[in-house]
Amino acid sequence: MTLKEAQETVDQWITTTGIRYFNELTNTAILMEEVGEVARIMSRKYGEQSFKKSDEAVDLGNEMADVLFVLICLANQTGIDLTTAMEKNLQKKSIRDADRHRNNEKLQ
């Protein structure tokens, strides 16, 4: 699925099953909540925290998809074409960081 297809699919789901988009501020708060859930899993799976019994069966991929879903909702609501935005962002990084990481002693 391309980013464009994902944006179209989410919009179709929202306008049928979801009835309508939550407003942008609500979706921003939901995005922060979903990112927090990913952070909780990461800190337990890859960090020093241990899993609680209730967290042992969590699916990191599913939680990341929740983040992506809400981010796509926000992009749709604000008129952002994520394909174009991602292409511009990668171009910016490629120019800005052309030698930066290669010359970073911490990465050697």
Element (H, E) at 79: none
pLDDT at 39: 96
Residues 74 and 11 sit within 8 Å (Cβ to Cβ): no
Q: What is the mean pLDDT of the chain?
A: 94
pLDDT of residue 37: 95
Contacts 24+ apart (CB under 8 A), 22-26: 22/73, 24/74, 24/77, 24/78
- Residue 71: both structure tokens together: 């981010």
What tokens does 18 get?
Answer: 């979801």
Q: Which residues are within 8 A (CB) of 75 and not within 5 positions of it... i.e. 6 or more apart?
A: 7, 81, 82, 85
Q: What are the pLDDT digits (tens) for 24-77?
A: 999 999 999 999 999 999 999 999 988 888 777 889 999 999 999 999 999 999
pTM for this prediction: 0.88
